[in-house]
């Protein structure tokens, strides 16, 4: 997974997965809009997602995930109004799966703060599979470039090295897994 430079094979895979040819750019944000977003949020988006939204498309109703891929600055309709402001420049708070239903070690005051940071810090929300299951692309911190599933019971990274799936890590691996029709957790 290369988060600094877009791999031509990844970009070709992304175009194919979303049914777009090399000349299809009507729904792309363009580089000026991507640079503006990055400057406002104090981040540099990981590749190939960065080039994807700049040159290919900014979201898609066809998915992934089940309810479609959100545009860069969007949040799911069921995200809720009572959440704190997002801070993409602050590092994503996890580096290992966390099932809070089974967590008896984290003190309650730390638990609530840690849980809140999952929906606030260091990631863009790619979309939802419904029922409070959100896919995040980590943009800041040690897991930059990785995809995470955050649900009402826990959070887990996506990629073969983390278990639960045979897919490659990162945005291109996540899209490829969806495009080939595999269930998310197929390991």
> pLDDT digits over 83-131, tens only?
667 899 999 999 999 887 777 777 777 777 777 788 789 999 999 988 8
In this prediction, residues 37-66 reach a mean pLDDT of 94
CA 167 from chain center: how many Å?
15
Residue 73 CA to residue 135 CA, distance in Å, equals 14
Of residues 113, 110, 112, 98, the one with CA closest to residue 156 = 98
Q: Is the peptide bond before 82 cis (omega within 30 degrees of 0)?
A: no
Residue 59 CA to residue 106 CA, distance in Å, equals 37
Q: What is the pLDDT of residue 135?
A: 95
In this prediction, residues 26-55 reach a mean pLDDT of 96
Q: What is the pLDDT of residue 60?
A: 92
Q: In this model, does residue 16 exceed pLDDT 90?
A: yes
Contact 147, 125 (CB under 8 A): no
Contact 126, 65 (CB under 8 A): yes
pLDDT band with cut points at 50, 70 and 90 for residue 160: very high
Q: In this model, does residue 70 exceed pLDDT 90?
A: yes
Backbone phi and psi for residue 185, each to the nearest 5 degrees, phi listed first: -110, 90
Q: What is the pLDDT of residue 132?
A: 83
Q: Domain 8-75+85-179, CATH 2.40.10 — does that match? A: no
What size, in residues, is the chain?
187
Q: In this model, does residue 180 exceed pLDDT 80?
A: yes
Residue that is written with structure tokens 């981040």 in the block: 43
Residue 139 CA to residue 124 CA, distance in Å, equals 7
């Amino acid at each position: 997974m290369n988060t600094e430079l877009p791999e031509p094979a990844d970009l070709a895979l992304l175009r194919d997965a979303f049914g777009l040819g090399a000349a299809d750019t009507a729904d792309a944000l363009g580089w000026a809009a991507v640079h503006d977003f990055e400057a406002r949020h104090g981040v540099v988006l990981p590749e190939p997602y960065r080039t994807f939204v700049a040159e290919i498309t900014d979201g898609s109703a066809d998915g992934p995930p089940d309810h479609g891929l959100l545009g860069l600055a969007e949040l799911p309709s069921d995200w809720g109004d009572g959440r704190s402001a997002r801070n993409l420049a602050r590092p994503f708070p996890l580096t290992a799966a966390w099932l809070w239903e089974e967590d008896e070690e984290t003190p309650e005051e730390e638990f609530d703060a840690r849980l809140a940071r999952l929906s606030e810090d260091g990631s863009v929300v790619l979309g939802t599979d419904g029922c409070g299951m959100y896919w995040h692309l980590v943009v800041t911190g040690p897991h930059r470039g990785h995809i995470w599933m955050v649900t009402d019971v826990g959070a887990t990274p996506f990629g073969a090295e983390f278990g639960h799936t045979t897919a490659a890590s990162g945005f291109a691996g996540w899209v490829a897994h969806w495009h080939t029709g595999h269930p998310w957790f197929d390991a």
